């Protein structure tokens, strides 16, 4: 195997920047808090005791390692690349989100914090946060856009069962970005006891790095599982991107392996030209929001515009800063899949593999359906099955009725 030079996996610099992206663009009132968090995170990650505790919870509470599964019928259907699923939907709470939540909650406990706040869009991160907060007996407050509460009722019910308080956010446009604004306002008001558990590789430094570190277990396992099974590294990796945490988690362990092609899939909503999409890289401009510089959906005046996608989890007008950097470096390819293509891939996966994927994940599967047929049979492709689709039943049923 080639020797890896840490060109792409090196991560953020001392200012928390990936090239010009990332950083700590927060009000002075938050600055001491994120500096304290960064220090606590770095200290914890250097302690074998913390890492051992993290491993134990990943194994016994989350259910890791998640399997690497050969999608035999999908492979036969597309007649090209050999397709593997990294089964993150089998984790406790049904998505990759809990990998990060378990890491951050252990950190919160070390820091002596007693109140956990989080933002959520589709509700998967909210459910995962409520779950770990319940496990450790910590108070949990989840900010969720009023619009999202309406379309994700099951997850709202789950969070309440787990003891979390849901705060509907009506400010702005009442979606994920506004929930994040509101969580930041809460944090700056309740600085002493509160830990803000961000769900994706965005926000001010150290969040993009911290969330990626806790999600990187996906790629580390995939690497070992593929070596065990095929005796070599995969040729390509595919993952969907809202903020981009499952993609960063899968990609990170392979960034310095030049032979591994990586594709991040944004949500094109009703199409990139329609203006109704969530593709920050494909249809946005560099800017600063929620503490970091990255690509953002915005108008000519620098006002943030709404994201649109069939999947609430991709409905964010930004993207993690490390993705923005990897995009500019040309290391990762970024594409976009629209609602219709995602829905088609969703149905195909249900029927071919007996797995109901999340609509977010269906975007990655749609990209696989485009790529796989063009590739040879010895091409090893891994797609991150980031979440299961139970939460999407109402949306899918409604769309099926509309089409019927």
Partner 1 sequence: MNARIQARFAQLTAENRAALVTYICAGDPDYDTSLKLLKGLPGAGADIIELGMPFSDPMADGPAIQAAALRALRAGQTQRKTLEMVRQFRQHDKTTPLILMGYYNPIHRYGAADYMRDASEAGVDGLLVVDLPAEHDAELGPLARQYGIDMIRMATPTTDAQRLPKVLAQASGFLYYVSLNGVTGVGQADGARVRDAIGAIRQQSALPVCVGFGVRTPQQAASFARDAEGVVVGSALVDCIERAETGEKALEAVLELTGQLAAAVLSARQ
Residue 386 is among the residues annotated as catalytic for this protein: yes
- Selected from 286, 352, 370, 379, the binder of partner 1 by CB under 8 A is 286
Phi and psi angles of residue 227, each rounded to the nearest 5 degrees, phi first: -65, -40
Q: What is the largest CA-CA distance in the chain?
A: 57
CB of 304 to partner 1, least distance (A): 5
Active site residue 86: no
Closest contact distance (angstroms) between CB of 27 and partner 1 is: 4
Instruction: Identify any residues that bridge with 267 across adjacent strands, giving them in sequence order.
Output: 337
Question: Out of 23, 121, 234, 283, which residue is the one contacting partner 1 (CB under 8 A)?
Answer: 23
Count other C-beta atoms under 10 Å from residue 330's C-beta.
Answer: 7
65 versus 168: smaller Cβ distance to partner 1 = 168
* Phi, psi dihedrals of residue 244, rounded to the nearest 5°: 110, 30
Residue choice 59, 157, 161, 191 for contact with partner 1 (CB under 8 A): 191
Alpha-helix runs per DSSP H in 162-206: 176-189
Write out the E strands in 177-284: 194-196, 236-240, 261-269
At how many degrees (to 10) do helices 359-371 and 339-353 cross? 90
CB nearer to partner 1: pick between 31 and 76: 31
402 is a contact residue toward partner 1 (CB under 8 A):
no
Catalytic residue among 86, 97, 113, 177: 97
- Residue 291 is a binding residue for partner 1 (CB under 8 A): yes
- How many CB atoms neighbour CB 301 within 10 A? 5
Range 199-225 burial, b when 16+ CB lie within 10 A, else e: bbbbbbbbbbbbbbbbbbbbbebbbeb
181 binds partner 1 (CB under 8 A): yes
Min separation Cβ 71 and partner 1, Å = 40
Contacting residue, 119, 148, 178, 353, with partner 1 by CB under 8 A: 178
Is residue 113 annotated as part of the catalytic site, yes or no? no
User: Across-strand partners of 117?
Assistant: 141, 196
Minimum separation from the CB atom of position 275 to partner 1 (A): 16
- When asked if residue 258 is in the footprint of partner 1 (CB under 8 A), the reply is no
Looking at the Cβ atoms of 2 and 303, the one nearer to partner 1 is: 303
For 382, the enclosing helix (H) or strand (E) is: strand 380-384
Q: Does 168 bind partner 1 (CB under 8 A)?
A: no
Asked if residue 9 lies in contact with residue 254, where contact means CB atoms within 8 angstroms, the answer is no
Give strand pairing partners of 382: 84, 237
* Active site members: 97, 119, 386
The site for partner 1 (CB under 8 A) is made up of: 15, 23-33, 171-172, 177-178, 181, 184-185, 188-191, 285-291, 293, 296, 298, 300-305
């Amino acid at each position: 195997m080639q020797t890896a030079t840490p060109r792409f996996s090196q991560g953020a610099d001392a200012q928390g920047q990936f090239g010009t992206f990332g950083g700590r663009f927060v009000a002075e009132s938050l600055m001491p808090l994120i500096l304290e968090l960064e220090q606590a995170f770095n200290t914890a990650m250097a302690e074998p005791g913390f890492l051992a505790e993290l491993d134990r919870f990943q194994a016994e509470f989350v259910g890791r390692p998640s399997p690497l599964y050969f999608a035999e019928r999908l492979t036969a259907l597309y007649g090209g690349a050999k397709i593997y699923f990294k089964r993150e939907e089998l984790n406790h709470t049904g998505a990759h989100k809990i990998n990060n939540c378990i890491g951050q909650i252990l950190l919160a406990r070390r820091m002596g914090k007693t109140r956990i706040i989080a933002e959520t869009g589709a509700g998967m991160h909210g459910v995962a946060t409520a779950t770990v907060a319940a496990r450790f007996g910590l108070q949990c407050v989840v900010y969720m856009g009023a619009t999202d509460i309406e379309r994700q009722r099951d997850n709202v019910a789950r969070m309440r069962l787990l003891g979390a308080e849901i705060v509907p956010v009506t400010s702005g446009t009442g979606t994920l970005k506004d929930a994040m604004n509101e969580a930041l306002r809460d944090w700056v008001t309740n600085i002493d006891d509160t830990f803000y558990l961000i769900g994706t590789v965005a926000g001010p430094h150290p969040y993009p790095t911290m969330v990626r570190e806790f999600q990187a277990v996906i790629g580390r396992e995939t690497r070992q599982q593929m070596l065990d099974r095929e005796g070599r590294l995969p040729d390509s990796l595919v993952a969907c991107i809202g903020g981009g945490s499952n993609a960063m988690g899968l990609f990170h362990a392979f960034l310095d392996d030049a032979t591994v092609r990586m594709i991040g899939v944004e949500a094109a909503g009703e199409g990139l030209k329609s203006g109704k999409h969530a593709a920050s890289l494909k249809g946005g401009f560099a800017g600063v929001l929620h503490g970091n510089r990255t690509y953002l959906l915005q108008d000519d005046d620098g006002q943030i515009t709404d994201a649109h996608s069939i999947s609430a989890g991709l409905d964010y007008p930004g993207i993690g800063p490390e993705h923005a950097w990897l995009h500019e470096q040309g290391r990762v390819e970024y594409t976009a899949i629209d609602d219709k293509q995602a829905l088609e891939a969703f149905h195909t996966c249900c029927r071919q593999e007996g797995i109901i994927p999340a609509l977010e994940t269906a975007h990655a599967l749609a990209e696989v359906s485009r790529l796989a047929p063009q590739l040879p049979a010895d091409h090893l492709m891994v797609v991150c099955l980031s979440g299961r689709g139970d939460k999407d039943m109402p949306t899918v049923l409604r769309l099926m009725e509309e089409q019927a």
